[in-house]
Structure 1
């Protein structure tokens, strides 16, 4: 017999299996000896009250043995199968390739950047010298932006597809089974590269292809049907099915569509800054304590407020994290955040952003590239304000709200360095005015948040793509090019690792061969 119940545990008992069984025995009103095993199906932290609790949903096996966890796998050898070209090896592209194996199709993955191992040298150069390789950086390379974006797997995409399937594939390739039960699953930037490498090996071992340093320069088309691609290496690779999973920063793809006069649309995106606090400020506020218990992870927050009829919200919050330089071209500043698996760095950071709508940018209703150009202009302004070498403009929080240049800046995690600047000279008025209104309100919602110990680092601009590549809602193909499947974040259909992975799977499922 199996019984599923909810149990609340204080942090000091979360690793005490005996205590858990005692609690279950009392709740189920049975002898403890009858419980032969248990399986946690959901785990979350409840910090709403003065006493923080873990809340577990647990299946207990009574008078029967525990059923083993089985991760289903049905992938095929595809060496001689019909091919599908996948442009981009980010989450959307890799999961599309994996789904091809399940469907008996041969994925040919073309990635402009380098493998995970080779990519590390370029990331070190970015952090150490402020030099960007436009083909290999925090956004381009094996695993895409997802490899170095913290590995947060929290999503609201349940209606789009099978979230659990995505998590199980990660577990199969080296992630811990914790991600199957945690309410906010997280892998960690230090572990993701090994998982991505294992996925690559699975794809190659079953007959798929992955080519690095292989940028797609042209998509071949005739009579309204895709025929293949032309690569930067001079190869023409032919297929009647091309999945376009290039991510939100592959601006050259958008310009390729412009040259071919293929339909694209301007799309709203969010713009703001990355805000960093000492982690212990966030811990004290969220856990209502002077010192975080050793069994509690560094605390997380999510904040939202309406100011001037605009939503201001935290985004991609990284407890114990690092602010990373994510520019993909010279003379631009873009920041993002990530955390290692233990989230054990002394700072907490989060994007804090405001949505940019079509009506905010001149001619966006008629020029599909207007928001893209607006985004790029802001990033170039940030670069000039920092003075070069990816030094980022920054301002203490209270100084920013009070329109005062900071005399100095607190220690922070952004490795290329920060420079005191007036962020209101970089951000458009509707963004910095909404931010100024929201931050003191956030401070009233979360004790200690509004402080000059916090630093605002500019700019957080790659929250999503400012261009959408349209597709038919039923067959997922571009309305003007049959066989071309716009996919993932770059096409405007995802917003994170899991939703991008699901979209990659959905695009493969839409292929009819």
Structure 2
């Protein structure tokens, strides 16, 4: 982490002699591009004639839990994986059940959806080892400061192969090209400690006895029992929501958002954010942005906001079943793609789902499904996505020709007003107009909209006690992470996984 030229600058600034035994260690780094002069703010620890203290406190677990009481974890995304690692530290054996494949085998299914438009409902960009985050960017920043120990989660990533830079950067990011190896290393840690991980193992039913969960049943008919069940299935496991509803287990409709991805040439965003006339140069990272607007539709206020902005990234097909069309964004570690993309989404209001009231708490899920299936059908029943120049969308006209894109399955020129419901499309247009005023050059003819972005978060919440994390009506069931409605990214999901593991052991661990 110590750069020679940077060290020389620090020594000169502090007037420290080069003859001293000095270690310079960065502890925080951020970029401030608000003023005319861009600044890189760096905090450092300097050790003169003394050994540096420990920068990383986390140590890999050495406990053998192979013969200890077991807890079932459904889902191997960040919530499930970090729950498993924490259970090992607490002396409990995790049995992790993943409907999809391991990270290496999963790549073949990603290639199939990109090149052949074939969607495997159990192995895709959302399902498989590591969850949606593994092949979907790897951003590690969060506003969830009160949910857990952020530093600890970052150190666990470093212990499994991530760069120490993530401990320093204000907006840490691993990259979708590096995350698979880190996820595989976490798997090795769990197995080495005596935990179990079962792939191609989709849960189809729950083992219930007098409102207490005893375990789960999988598609193969195998039963897994344990001291409790941590349900960490992610925001797209619709079959799990439907299972809970069918078994009369309390779930609730939850707010979410829906919209599109917008894709710009990265140089356009760089020039807007850095106010540079040419390329940003070798010292500044690909620029990002964060935008929010308030609009109105039929007298009701609608929030429009950017979501999961991916500088130097790609747009990918994120459907989880044939006949659906969903897009998402990701970035490699270097963020060196020629394109920048971001979700631009509109908050879904309760009145938007009234049409699907017969679905009860699954009304929002049904709205998602209807829009995704319609988009797929209108775009040709493959994974080619609707596309429209942003300037044409705002002007209300069809695009005669689309721009080059990072989206591999290809684009079909369409009017997004035909793809999106009016309560999404109209506020989206107003929001984009406002964004164009906030970022001059944002509404360029070089940018295009690609639809649809509908999996911003879970449309369902699985309720739980605020302290114990236990379901209010089913004992030993611990809803966890994004799918349960308690996280919004890798970091918050990981912290929630640890918290659920701790609470389960506190209440039902060995006495």
Note whether the superposition's TM-score is higher than 0.5. Answer: yes
TM-score by length of 1: 0.94
Q: Secondary structure in 2 aligned to 1:337? A: strand
Question: CA 1:420–1:142 in 2, change beyond 3 Å: closer, same or farther?
Answer: same
Once the two structures are TM-superposed, the CA of residue 31 in structure 1 deviates from its matched residue by 4.4
Q: Which moved more, 1:34-43 or 1:61-70?
A: 61-70
Q: Secondary structure in 1 aligned to 2:361? A: coil
1:177 to 137, 160, 164: 164
Q: Which moved more, 1:362-371 or 1:197-206?
A: 362-371
2:302 to 310, 331, 348: 310
Q: Which moved more, 1:440-449 or 1:138-147?
A: 440-449
Once the two structures are TM-superposed, the CA of residue 35 in structure 1 deviates from its matched residue by 6.5
1:50 to 26, 36, 39: 36
2:318 is the counterpart of 1:326: yes
1:36 to 15, 22, 25: 22
Distance 1:445 1:32 in 2: 48
Deviation per CA, 1:337-385, whole angstroms, max 9, x where unpaired? Answer: 0011111111000001111122332167782111110111111111012
> Counterpart in 1 of 2:45?
59
**RMSD between aligned residues:** 1.6
Distance 1:439 1:22 in 2: 43
Q: Secondary structure in 1 aligned to 2:189? A: helix
> Counterpart in 1 of 2:140?
153
Structure 2 contact 58–156 (Cα < 8 Å) conserved: no
Deviation per CA, 1:300-339, whole angstroms, max 9, x where unpaired? Answer: 1111111223221111011111100000011110100001
Q: What runs of 5+ residues in structure 2 fail to find an aligned partner?
A: none
Q: Which moved more, 1:358-367 or 1:402-411?
A: 358-367
Deviation per CA, 1:433-477, whole angstroms, max 9, x where unpaired? Answer: 111112122122223211121110111000000000101112111
Distance 2:362 2:171 in 1: 35
Question: CA 1:16–1:144 in 2, change beyond 3 Å: closer, same or farther?
Answer: closer
Q: Which moved more, 1:304-313 or 1:327-336?
A: 304-313
1:274 to 257, 261, 264: 261
Distance 2:289 2:377 in 1: 32
1:101 to 88, 98, 106: 88
Structure 1 contact 96–505 (Cα < 8 Å) conserved: yes
Structure 2 contact 2–26 (Cα < 8 Å) conserved: no
Counting only pairs closer than 5 Å after superposition, residues 183-332 of structure 1 correspond to structure 2 as 183-289=170-276, 290-308=278-296, 309-332=301-324
Deviation per CA, 1:143-177, whole angstroms, max 9, x where unpaired? Answer: 01010110000101110001111111110011000
> Counterpart in 2 of 1:490?
483
Distance 1:77 1:143 in 2: 23
Moved segments of 4+, more than 4 Å: 28-35, 363-366
> Counterpart in 2 of 1:6?
none
How many residue pairs align between the two structures? Answer: 499
Q: What runs of 5+ residues in structure 1 fail to find an aligned partner?
A: 1-13
Counting only pairs closer than 5 Å after superposition, residues 333-372 of structure 1 correspond to structure 2 as 333-362=325-354, 367-372=360-365
Distance 1:208 1:25 in 2: 52
Q: Secondary structure in 2 aligned to 1:149? A: coil
Q: Which moved more, 1:55-64 or 1:178-187?
A: 55-64
Distance 1:340 1:318 in 2: 9
1:460 to 453, 460, 476: 453
Distance 1:246 1:482 in 2: 18
TM-score by length of 2: 0.95
Distance 2:233 2:30 in 1: 34
> Counterpart in 2 of 1:469?
462
1:398 to 391, 397, 400: 391
> Counterpart in 2 of 1:422?
415
Distance 1:468 1:38 in 2: 47
Q: Secondary structure in 2 aligned to 1:479? A: coil
Once the two structures are TM-superposed, the CA of residue 223 in structure 1 deviates from its matched residue by 0.8
Structure 2 contact 356–366 (Cα < 8 Å) conserved: no
